[in-house]
A and B are shown apart, each in its own frame.
Chain A
Amino acid sequence: MTISTQTLLVNGKNFTINADPNMPVLWALRDIIGLSGTKFGCGSGLCGACTIHVDGAPMRGCLTSLKQVVGKQVTTIEGVEAAQLRAKWAEYNVPQCGYCQAGQIMSAAALLATTPTPTDGQIDEAMAGNICRCGTYPRIKAAIKAAATENAEA
């Protein structure tokens, strides 16, 4: 393993960092770039707390290495355009401890980007990879459904 200069495009900004190209994006974001909104939960792609978008697709930041995102656009909770979802999250008072919510919103935003009016089954499928230990699932689902309803009417 060696350190080399990496260029990373995050939320539309270029960052040049010295790091091992095998380093997961999660840790480069958190410890080097200083964007701590993307959370560590399991390190194994099992909980979704570290969900980011790579060229718009939801990815687990803990399993995605720096070399895998070369030349690609990385989006984090700090930069994602999700005003509608944030408004619904606030309206339904979704968060409890809030720790997993960045990942939840990133997964929901990726779903709505491709499927603006998801069915219950599509919501279940898209959100199944995001664990919330506080148990905010009913409100997450309600918030996404409210956004979907709004999208259907638009």
Chain B
Amino acid sequence: MTTFTAVENISRRDVLKLFGAAGGGLALGATGLAWSPMALAQDNQAMMNLFIAIGEDNKVYLTCHRSEMGQGIRTGIPQILADELEADWDNVVVIQGLADKRYGSQNTDGSRSIRKHYTRMRQMGAVARTMLEQTAAAKWQVPVSEVYAKSSKVFHKSSNKSLTFGELALDAGKQTVPAIESVRLKSDSDFTHIGQSKTIVDMQDMLNGKAIYGYDIKLDGMVYASISRPPVLGSDVASLDDTEARKVVGVIDVIQLPVPKGAPLFQALGGVAVIATNTWSAMQGRKALKLTWTASVNDRHDTDKYMAELVAKVKTPGKVMRQLGDSVQKWPKESTLNAVYTVPYLTHAMMEPPVATANVTAQGCELWSSTQTPQSTQQTVAAALGLQEDNVKVNVTLLGGGFGRKSKPDFSVEAAMLSQRLNKPVKVSWTREDEIQHGYYHAISAQFYQAKFDGNNKVDALLARTGFPSISSTFAEGVEMPSAGELDLGFTDVPLALPQIRLEAVKAVARTRIGWMRSVCNIQHAFGIGSFVDELAVKAQKPCIQMWREMLGAPRKETFADQGFSYGNYGEELADHPVDVARYHHLLDVMEASLAKQPKVAKNQGWGFAIHRSFVSYVAVATLVEVVDNKLQVLKSIAAIDAGLVVNPDRVKSQTEGAIIFGLTLAMMGEISFKDGKVTQSNFHDYPLLRLPQCPDIEVILVESNAKPAGVGEPGVPPVAPSLTNAIFAATGVRYRDLPLNKVLSV
């Protein structure tokens, strides 16, 4: 009853027409697999393409190949498919895609599910609709131009006779797949599902406790593992006494895992696994282990010292990453302003810690993983087990949050290695302490900013430096500099129109696993520039919004030409997603108008503002705070987001609300510190997250835009921290440049 059933492939006796990344062709063994058992009931159905199957009973099975972690993608992708397909939403059943290269990238991070797949999903829907229309036209012996699809039926225009998708499906599935270029896409004004705030498809399951997350997987004969991992990166087990652990009721076995060599990559960290008949016994057994660890090169990592070194480094010249105009030779004291901003290590702290279940048999490995990245899970597990990738099947569960942590498949590798050793299904459940102490951390960082005013109270030169251990250090040894891709995230790509700009990066050696967390380096870079523009505004005695207007300059599409800088633009062409200064200006106007309507602030209160472009979206945030007796209360946040065309407006709003809270959390209380190479924090008492009584009123303004769909999950985060510290300055006259604020304020 409680066993999680492995679902077989959708009926193989249908003709399976596929055109995935390869385009065109006929293949068997399509894997539109669901952990949704509803797919099991279906047999007589036609696979129209990789993403769409239609049953004789009129059900429309739409595959979501991206991971659901709260952003609503299991609703958004099907909305796009269903729209061009002209499917009735009530007939839609969502199938979760397995790891499968034919889908293209499934790595659900970088705020790219919609922006990278919008057109292709429309094409998939349109191709299937065309096949249904052609089938109906053939049955009626009328030209295809005389038929049209609507609400899961195909109609003949003049006679108004109709056939349901279900009646057409099996014949339609035998049609030749039309060329993508030949199919008609709808005009935006004809959309029926895109642009609608559909309720998320998993709503009822979530409210009834029936939604299946990684932690909820239960297989026949499964055992449970809890792993004690090396507390310092690079150390290994020196001695192990498992006598007491083996006496714990329910404990079955104790297994030592190897510590990997070289760069961390996505490898399992090693350590000692306690295997038991249930999660609690495994955890209890683990507590009874007597373990000592070997020394590591990272034993002396101490964040206080490391940060002091980083701050010193950003005050001295680094490597130039972008330069406009000649270097400024003189910085006259009276017209120059400089400041250093710091952000500590942060960790993801998604509510569901990492968890995976593996079943390794002679046939291969099957995984059920709470993963953002099924294909790298497949690749990494195959490599660790010595299997072919095709022999690793990855089922994607719902994710109890991800924020980038679950893009790293180390926990799935652990489950697979243990299952291979034990010859039975194994679930590896991370505790909260595991999650906090064995993360892929958002990098500790320092930013130096310096600017000079001309004789007309205008900024005419900017020098900035950033320093942080690079994500690249997780993938290669010897990395000492941030990558260009990381600097693209809100540092080098801010389109300021100043006569002189010089942007530099400095060296920093990694002492732990560095990863990406919701909005990545935009966090520290937006905090730097967002704070500094406000400081300049204060010095110039201008409103912050006005200072941004002046520094951004005239509306234009910034290309950064001739500045020694080639912009990655989040993997998008500048032609599709320009750095459009006009869109910044529009948000400045929108926020200015919104703030004009707000009541006058009371004593000890103040508004702060910041704006940032990331993941090719634009977000402005205004924050109202009150500070009394050193106690900070955030009263209101207003966010205006221009994410181009949006598929599900309510989910864009909810993501932006969540981003505000994520940003407030990191600014107010987020800090991971290291002492003797070990993480100091362990659970929510010392790595706190914002709670309901600390949450402000939040208003999200969704700016109408006909630009191409842009990122949504992350762009709301970066401007939050600077808007908050700017607000505190407005309320108190005190400038905070080092996060988190709970070191100096009661929150």
A residues near B (Cβ < 8 Å) are 1-3, 20, 23-24, 27, 30-32, 34-44, 46-47, 49, 76-78, 86, 89-90, 93, 95-102, 105, 123-125, 127-141
Q: Given A77-B209, A98-B206, is A138 in contact with B698 using a C-beta cutoff of 8 Å?
A: yes
CB-defined contacts of B655 to chain A, threshold 8 Å: 96
Report whether A39 and B224 are in contact in the complex, using a CB–CB cutoff of 8 Å: no
Residue B658, interface by CB 8 Å: yes
In the bound complex, do residue A30 and residue B279 qualify as a contact, i.e. CB atoms below 8 Å apart?
Answer: yes
Q: Could you say which residues of chain A place their CB within 8 Å of the CB of B683?
A: 42-44, 46
List 25 interface pairs A-B (beta carbons < 8 Å), by A numbering.
A2-B249, A20-B281, A24-B280, A27-B278, A31-B278, A31-B280, A34-B218, A36-B216, A39-B351, A39-B352, A43-B431, A47-B351, A78-B208, A89-B207, A96-B70, A96-B72, A96-B658, A97-B70, A97-B399, A98-B205, A127-B692, A133-B351, A133-B662, A134-B658, A135-B661
One of B72, B283, B691 near A128 (C-beta < 8 A): B691
| Interfacial residues of chain B within 622-649, with CB under 8 A of chain A in the complex | none
Q: Which of B205, B400, B662, B692 contacts A130 (CB 8 A)?
A: B692
Within 8 A of A (CB), among B313-353: 349-353
Does chain A have a CB within 8 A of B298? no
The residue of chain A having its C-beta at the shortest distance from the C-beta of B218 within the complex is: A34
The yes or no answer to B654 lying at the interface (CB within 8 A) is yes
The reply to whether B654 and A96 contact each other, CB–CB distance below 8 Å, is yes
* A95: chain B residues within 8 A (beta carbon): 70, 200, 202-203, 206-207
Which of B197, B199, B278, B691 has a CB less than 8 Å from the CB of A131? Answer: B691
Choose among A35, A39, A105 the residue that contacts B207 (Cβ–Cβ < 8 A): A105
Given contacts A34-B1, A128-B691, A128-B693, contact A44 B684 (CB under 8 A): yes
- Say yes or no for B409: interface residue by CB 8 A criterion: no
Residue ID in chain A nearest B663 by CB atoms = A135
Total contacting residues, chain B, CB less than 8 A: 69
**Which residues of chain A have C-beta atoms less than 8 A from B197's C-beta?**
93
How far does the Cβ of B668 sit from chain A's closest Cβ, in whole Å? 13
- The answer to whether B684 touches A42 (Cβ under 8 A) is yes
Complex alpha-carbon distance, A77 and B249, angstroms: 29
In chain A, what residue has the closest Cβ to B212? A36
Q: How far does the alpha carbon of A20 sit from the alpha carbon of B683 in the complex, in Å?
A: 25
Q: Which residue of A lies closest to B431 (CB)?
A: A43
Question: B278–A39 contact, CB under 8 A?
Answer: no
* A37-B208, A41-B432, A128-B691 given; A100·B351 CB < 8 A: yes
| Chain A, residue nearest B653 (CB) | A93
Are B692 and A137 closer than 8 Å at their CB atoms?
yes
B149 at the binding interface (Cβ < 8 Å): no
Closest to A78 in B: B209
CB pair A96 B692 closer than 8 Å: no
Taking a contact as CB atoms under 8 Å apart, the answer to whether B249 and A3 are in contact is yes
Find B695's partner among A46, A100, A137 (CB 8 Å cutoff).
A137
Determine whether B659 belongs to the interface, using a CB cutoff of 8 Å to chain A: yes
- Closest Cβ of chain B to A143, distance in Å, is 11
B697 on interface, CB distance cutoff 8 Å? yes
In the assembled complex, the Cα of A128 lies from the Cα of B203 at a distance in Å of 23
Q: How far is the CB of A85 from the nearest CB of chain B, in Å?
A: 8
Specify which of A31, A35, A97, A123 is in contact with B279 (CB 8 Å cutoff): A31
Complex Cα spacing A134 to B283, Å:
27
Known: A36-B216, A96-B70, A97-B402. 13 other contacts (CB 8 A): A1-B249, A2-B249, A20-B281, A30-B279, A34-B2, A40-B353, A42-B684, A96-B654, A101-B206, A135-B659, A135-B695, A136-B654, A139-B657
Cα of A37 to Cα of B209 in the assembled complex, Å: 4
Q: Is B24 part of the binding interface, using a Cβ–Cβ cutoff of 8 Å?
A: no
CB–CB B279/A131 < 8 A: no
Smallest CB gap from A30: residue in B:
B279
Q: Which one of A23, A31, A90 contacts B203 once the chains associate, using CB atoms below 8 Å?
A: A90
A99 to B204: give the CA distance in the assembly, Å.
Answer: 13
